[in-house]
Structure 1
Amino acid sequence: MGSILQNYEAAKSVYAELGVDTDKAMERLDGVSLSVHCWQIDDLKGFENPDAVLSGGIAAFGGAPGKPESREQYIEQIDRALGLIPGRKKLALHAVYLDRPGDGDVPRNSLEPKHFKFWVDFAKYRNIGLDFNPTYFSHPKAEDGFTLSSANEEIRKFWVEHGICCREIGEYFGKELEQTCITNHWIPDGYKDYTVDKLSPRLRLKQSLDEIFARSIDPKYNIDSVESKLFGLGSESYVTGSHEFYSNYVACRKNCIICMDTGHFHPTEEVSAKLSSYLAFNQEILLHVSRPVRWDSDHVVMLDDETKAIMREIVYCNALDRVHVGLDFFDASINRIAATAIGARNAKKAMLLALLEPREKLVKYEHEGNFTGRLALFEELKSYPFGFVWDMYCEKHSVKTYNWFEDII
């Protein structure tokens, strides 16, 4: 602790010369709850059928040892990963992570809050919140690549009922934990090759979403989001739930928000550049932070330029309360506990970096047309002792700072 405190005091003094209060920056970071996804730990297998083969464009590549072989091992590993992440956090669940004591097989359109009571007890023990995700894939009724936009009325109805069940579970989480649950809806629907009728599936998706969201739920307990994708395995040519479709849908509805996954866009697009367009209309946003590599979207989050730019935009727009940040990646080629912690710690680091920047000074340069000063200050900040502030933040939360991964890898 001695060296961490000494280093921190030096960094505090350096930042103070820029008018930045490092104590206040850490305090503001403490007000942000990062949503950590549960599926990195077991490659999104879940508890419904651990032997099931992923489908719907979902795939986890690699064979790193240590994958949990039982629910008990899974819980031990997710608990260990959460313990490596400083500050407030939530755990994002998928519907396939249900608990079903005495119920046997539970159809996805019959899920109830009781099937997730175990997770509520876990969250209370950990003092964290819960987010939720319906699982519209890896299921016999999704084998043809269509769910909520299916032309088969029986299949469409099944998935509508699943979505309704999941909203009720999200509401249950919010009431029990007194933290808003965000229930995020992503579907794999689309065509692999040339598509003639692009409108009909989108009209059916619009109808399905209207049916799912028909019952009003107090946003104090549950907020729904809809997540787009540019393309995926099996939907390379056409995705029903595109970014444009969902952007228009949420603009016309008051009971759901847009979800943007940082890996779901064209490689030349940057989500950081899109945020202010939604915030200008006072919209709330859910972000799934991942790292794209060429066409693949689900790599472990790094402290890279785009992650830093995203967090800077949120902070500079004073939108920490309107942009909900979660993680979404799964890599089976590396240690799964470490991957969860690496991605989460990097997201938190990027937030802290943004909070340590002298926004008022930078804005002043910009408004005065002093673009030289703006660029010079941005570049100088890159060598400021941010790491010492991060070390103190970890110390405050009793989270290991140095070589935290050595006991895992």
Structure 2
Amino acid sequence: MSIRDNFKSAKKQYEKWGISVEDAFEKVKKVPVSIHCWQGDDIGGFEVNQQELSGGIDVTGNYPGKATTPEELRSDLEKALSLIPGKHRINLHAIYAETEGEVVDRDALEPKHFQNWVDWAKEHELGLDFNPTLFSHPMAEDGLTLAHPDKEVRDFWIRHCIQSRKIAAYFGKELGTQALTNIWIPDGYKDIPSDRLTPRQRLKDSLDEIFSVEINESHNVDAVESKLFGIGSEAYVVGSHEFYMGYALKNNKLCLLDTGHYHPTEMVSNKISAMLLYSDKLALHVSRPVRWDSDHVVIFDDELREIGLEIVRNNALDKVMIGLDFFDASINRVAAWTIGTRNMIKALLYASLLPNEKLKELQEKGNFTDRLALMEEFKTYPFGAIWDYYCEMQGVPVQENWLDEVKTYEQSVLAKREA
């Protein structure tokens, strides 16, 4: 049977539950995923005085073909985007500035250092998001930045974050789509601290100073991102979930939930509905932790499906800003982007094809038998046929055919790059 024939057969099975496949397509294709640029070069960036990775961040593997120039990175992103259905966004870190060989420290970065990214985004009808880079820098060598006891260090990073917000606002103005500026810091201690409060007070004061600079909110929205622990901050992280949740709520900022930044038994999907009761919007960095914050490529697993479900069945597609954050150098990097992003979109489409209102009704009536039965049966409904047709309608390769294009790109482009 053809893809169209398989689709027609599958569609009938969903329609008997009153599910409109076409409506699901329309909803999902409007959702942009913010694709992180740093998968393509192992979080190297393009600073003239490039530093070793720090801040508890590590990338493992040495698969050939890593992007080493902005042009190579954008070329790789273009290839990945051609294999992913929908129109999306690109998420940049400050270290991806292009300074034409000039040493420009991070607190002096300006929109002009990202003009090539803006021009490229315009050409490809993409939005851009931004992150100040508070790691891999001499002023972050001891693992403290905005919470550092030295005011000179704090002030440097405060200036960097203010400049980052201005850069993101420029993105939003030029591209006509609001940018997200997300602040994550590595600050913490390896062993048990004798004072947890004082570093948090300094972090709060630093954030207050950063956000005291008014930025046009139609061009930029601010988010803060927590973490449970990291390499070098195993015992204590200043910017914990509770700290940032409170700060975001009190100061009308977005709380960004990274799926790898919690205890392994916690489910970020379970936090979404709770957060949305008190926040108009929230942001996600979707990753895949394996035993810890390992940032594996996102797969179509139970937690990803639950994240999709929580967003869709709570009518939050316009309330949750979805971004990705993984980096795997052990496999083809273009393939990593493609696998992870297609799976995120797949989860949203899967969630849109469930009888969510019926399942809610069964729960409200206490009919847990039917609820469980239907939730299980829908796991083996012919979703694959629907997904294949969606990809075909969006003009991207169906099933594993995208892999052939990646292999061709690897042979013709990636293999020719110097190690």
TM-score (norm 2): 0.95
> Take 2:263 and 2:89, find their aligned partners in 1: how far apart are those partners?
29
Would you say 1:35 and 2:37 are equivalent positions?
Answer: no
In the aligned structure 1, how far is the partner of 2:163 from the partner of 2:18? 50
Match of 1:124 in 2: 122
The secondary structure found in structure 1 opposite 2:380 is coil
Aligned with 2:333 (options 319, 331, 336): 336
Specify which of 149, 152, 155 is matched with residue 150 of structure 2: 152
- Letter of the 1:372 partner, please give it: T
Structure 1, unaligned stretches of length 5 or more?
none
Q: State the partner residue of 1:376.
A: 373
CA distance in 2, matches of 1:297, 1:263: 7
Distance, in Å, in 2 between the alignment partners of 1:249 and 1:191 is 21
1:238-276 deviations in whole A, cap 9, x for unaligned?
Answer: 10100010011011102x110010010001100011111
Greater alpha carbon shift after TM alignment, 325-334 vs 275-284: 275-284
* Worse-matched range after superposition: 213-222 or 313-322: 213-222
Q: 1:71 to 1:251 in 2, by over 3 A?
A: closer
Residue 382 (structure 2) aligns with: 385
SS of residue matched to 2:315:
coil
Shift of 1:51: 4.9
> Structure 1 residue runs of 4+, over 6 Å off?
none
Instruction: Give the drift of 1:219.
Output: 2.3
What SS does structure 1 have at the residue aligned with 2:256? strand
Percent identity, please.
54
The match for 1:236 is 234
- Length-normalised TM-score, structure 1: 0.97
Structure 2, gaps ≥5 residues long? 408-419
State the alpha-carbon separation in 2 of the partners of residues 240 and 69 from structure 1. Answer: 33
| 1:331-352 Cα distance to aligned partner (Å, 9 max, x none) | 1111111001100000000000
Match status 1:162 vs 2:160: yes
Compute the displacement of 1:281 (Å). 1.6
Structure 1 residues 180, 315: closer, same or farther in 2, change over 3 A? same
Distance 1:271 1:296 in 2: 13
Superposed CA deviations along residues 2-34 of structure 1, whole A, max 9, x for unmatched, are 822221111111110011000000100012111
Counterpart of 2:178 in structure 1 is: 180
Distance in 1 of aligned mates of 2:272 and 2:48: 37
The answer to whether the aligner puts 1:397 opposite 2:391 as a matched pair is no
2:129 is paired with a residue of what secondary structure?
A: strand
Deviations 1:355-405 (A, max 9, x none): 111111111111111111111111110111111111121112211113211
Counterpart residue type for residue 208 of structure 1: S
Which residue of 354, 362, 365 corresponds with 2:362?
365
Secondary structure in 2 aligned to 1:274? helix
Aligned twin of 2:222: 224
Aligned partner of 1:318 in structure 2 is: 315
Letter in 1 for 2:4: L
| Contact 1:86–1:394 (CA under 8 A) maintained in structure 2 | yes
8 Å CA contact 1:33, 1:89 repeated in 2: yes
Shift of 1:49: 4.0
Shift of 1:64: 1.1
Equivalenced residue count is: 406
The question of 1:85 aligning with 2:84 is answered: yes
Alpha-carbon displacement from aligned partner over 1:191-215 (angstroms, at most 9, x marks no partner): 1112101111100100100111112
Q: CA deviation at 1:226?
A: 0.4
Aligned-residue Cα RMSD (Å) equals 1.3
Distance in 2 (alpha carbons) for counterparts of 1:130 and 1:366: 40
Q: Distance in 2 between matches of 1:339 and 1:49?
A: 27
Name the structure 2 match of 1:204: 202
CA contact 2:48–2:102 (8 Å) conserved in 1: no
Q: Which of 281, 284, 293 is the aligned partner of 1:284?
A: 281
